[in-house]
Structure 1
Amino acid sequence: MNVVVSQVVSIVVMVVGMSLVIAVALLLKRTMDWFSRSDARILLDSWKVGPPLEPVIDRQWDDDLQYADSEGFAFELSDGWNLLDLDPWQFEQLVRMLLKAMGFAEVRLTRVGGDGGIDLVAVNEAPVLGGKVAIQVKRYALHRKVDVRPIREIVGSAQRRNFTKQVVMTTSDFTAPARDEAARLSVELYNGQHLLWLFRKHLQRDFVIVSPVPGSSESSTDY
């Protein structure tokens, strides 16, 4: 009796083993058939690790702006500088240095008279978040606030040239209508206090903004 049971068990084990082998073989065949299909190859290709993402933009300056030659320009920064003592060109160069320190890959100044309200163009080459930023700077005395006109001006110029962001910076502040218009048109605003904070954070320099005495020859020197 024991011999019969042992033989039956052996036969069952053999049958189960053969069934498993056949099942694995069929599974392998179906898998190979699936791999040979075009849609499977497409899916597998999508899983492969490809090259790094390309920047959202390159450094092709293919717009119609006239750019100034500012490469190689540098000056030694000192704490206590009054930003209103700088001439327009120096102030724009200082903002250019700030933007470079903030991580922009390249920053260019435009030529006077050919900028359409855009004083600087900054390029961020990071994938997804990168882009080309149009920047207008206003070196205004503290009593003179930026109104809505520069906000609308830079938006019009930037939209015609497919910029991804518009920014207006000033040493003074913005009127309430200018802030409302900037919010409506998605323009980023930086007033004097914010600029001083950015200079302190990224250039490690403490500058000041002090208006000339009213009535002096420098009191109307704003831009």
Structure 2
Amino acid sequence: MQQFLKGKVVLITGGSRGLGATMAETFADYGADVAISYSASVDQAEAVVEKLKSRGVRSLAIKSDQAELSSAKSLVNSVVTEFGKLDVLVNNAGITKQGTMVDDPGLDEEQYNRQWQVNVMGSIANTRASAAKLADGGRIIFIGSRLADYVPFRGVADYAGTKAALVGYSKGIARDLGPRNITVNVVQPGVMPTDMNKDVSDHLPPVETFLDMHPIRRFATLEEASEAVCFLAGPHGSYITGEVLNISGGVGI
């Protein structure tokens, strides 16, 4: 595999499992040194780090709760202290709370508000903390969701809203950081085989119905989304900024 990211330092938030872990491995395969953040499972995070080191790159896991906005500066400073720089920030960490209609009197407002705190404010805090530290020519990539602009079923208003907010924010950041040749983009996967999606599977339409919405009648793989992110982070993505890339098999077209 061509190591076109060799010498680059990448921070992936929420990198201990699911898409975050797969992205970490893909970045390592392309030669990048990778730091990941995690909020709970140190064992999972360290297992990812060991996999990355076995590929011949440097790696570090940092415990950081994205709901605590003050943790962002410490997270970024730890990466720069360990690796000497930061080239790519992947804002991947997020949570999902779905299945309740907005007019339901039983709406768990605390959990839904936490979703906004983690998905939006946490990502903003990471971006602000990273902006001055990023090398010129660096990259910021937000992991969004196809639900940000196509909502085919009920009970996801708040989750969709958090992901839509990232789109507008990313476009503003792209304008701010463009003079430094820093690109900012959003990758919007559809449903993928992750633990988070398993947790909300009861709130999704039946699998066959859901697949019928897709011209390519299957779900994305974690590797497909990871490769798209690495493309945007690599040399061939240097003139792509302020854009939204859907990795969703054509759902919603």
Q: Smaller-chain TM-score range?
A: under 0.3
Question: TM-score normalised to the size of structure 1?
Answer: 0.24
TM-score by length of 2: 0.22
Structure (1 or 2) with the larger CA radius of gyration: 1
The structure with the greater share of residues assigned to strand is 2
